[in-house]
Structures are given as C-alpha cells and as structure tokens.
Structure 1
Amino acid sequence: MDSKTGFPLTGVLLAVIGTAHTALGVVIWTTGAEQAELSFWFTAFGVAAVGFAIAVLEVERVRGYVPAPILAALLVLTVFGLIFEPVSGFLTLLLPLALGLRGWLRHRRLVAVPV
C-alpha cells in the first residue's frame, strides 16, 4: 500500500488483472474462437484472482502493507506460471508483486528503526 495515499495498490492491481482475465474468458466463450476449455480456465482463474484480490485488499487496508506469506504465494504462482508460459499474462503479476514487496520492505524498515 502506498502509505502517502492509503491506497491498496497491490490488491487493486490484482483485481484489475483478475477482472481482465474473466472478461477475456467471456469473450472467448461468446465468440467461439477457441475451445470451451480455454474459456473455462480463463473465466475460472479470473474469478479466483478477483477473490484473492479482495482478500489482499482487506489485509492491505488493515495492515498498511501486504504480509510476507501472501507475497510468497503470489511469487510462487508467478514463477510457476512463467516457467510453463514464459510469454503470458503471468508477466502482469510482476507489477503487483513488486509493489507489494516495496510496501513490505518499507514496513520492515519502519519497524526496525527505534522511535
């Protein structure tokens, strides 16, 4: 989260990515351009991503940063996806991951400094 504005950037970006993923799945399904299985996976993982994003948003609002276990899960998902699909939408997860890591590191520095 950007501590200057109080805006949960990581969660919002994940929600945008999940929404775009879901919309793409619906477009694939309605146009019939690809197999139905592709549409299902795009839509299902898009909805799951939005659910994950909502959870991240809530935690980010309460704590002011994204905790390490959530960042670790996002990192594992991103690395796993990039190994199997190097040039894919998994690249978009690098931005919320980087912003979440920046906020977590900022929080760690503030906690480490005695007041």
Structure 2
Amino acid sequence: MHSKTQFPLTGAMLAFIGSVHTALGIVVWAAGDKETELAFWFTAFGVAAVCLGIAVIDVERTRGYVPAPILVATAVLVIFGLVVEPVSGFLTVLVPLAVGVRGWTRHRRGSGGAPNPAGPVTALG
C-alpha cells in the first residue's frame, strides 16, 4: 500500500481519543453511578470518533494530509462542543485538529508531502 505519510497522526489521534471516550462510557455504564444517558453519549460519540479517525487515517494515507473540508467540519464540531460543554473531552480534539491544520498548511505551501514516485521533475523532461 502506497502511503504519502509515514504515520497518519491526525486520524490515529482521533481514533485514540474515540477509543478512550468509548471505554469511559462503558466504565460509566458498568459503574451505574451516573445516568444511563451519560454512558450512552460517551459511548456513542466515542464510537463516532473512532469511525472518523479511521476515515481520516485513510484520507491521510491517500493524500498525505487532511483536506480542508474535514478540518473545517472537525473545527465546527469542536467549537460547538466547547460552547455547550466548555470543560470537556472536546479540548483533546484540539490537538489532532492542530496537527491536521499543520499538515494541510505544509501541503498548501508545497513543502510537505512525499517525494514524487516518478522521480524528480526536470526542465528537460
């Protein structure tokens, strides 16, 4: 499998955060101390974050960076989450978002990305 990035960091971080969120939801549910709705939301958003992370991993491997529409959608989700619940797990999503924006900016500048598999391009051909 050809990969433009050594390790799809943004997607991996999103999947990791989702995994921790899912595990926390299961622990909250098993403990029975909190309402069932809280455990449901922890688990549901955790699974959704894992799925998003897996999708972003695929895009990162294919393109070598996370495209702007995914970054914007993630930023909107984080902003909404922080407005509704300022001190929450949404703060952790700022890290993969920043890494994704960094990779996207490097791509836009033309300095980030894998070498051309066809070899160097010269003026003669």
Q: TM-score, normalised by structure 1?
A: 0.91
3-state DSSP of counterpart to 1:78: helix
State how 1:1-115 maps to structure 2 within 5 Å.
6-110=6-110
CA distance in 2, matches of 1:88, 1:105: 27
Unaligned runs of 5+ in 2: 112-120
3-state DSSP of counterpart to 2:87: coil
1:33 deviates by: 1.1
Aligned residues: CA RMSD: 1.4
User: Which residue identity lines up with residue 18 of structure 2 in the other structure?
Assistant: G
Number of residue pairs matched by the alignment: 109
- Cα shift readout 1:14-71 (whole Å, capped 9, x = no counterpart): 0010000000000001010100010011001100110111000000001000000000
More helix by proportion, 1 or 2? 1
CA distance in 2, matches of 1:18, 1:62: 22
Dislocated runs of 4+, deviation >2 Å:
none
Q: What is the percent sequence identity of the aligned residues?
A: 67
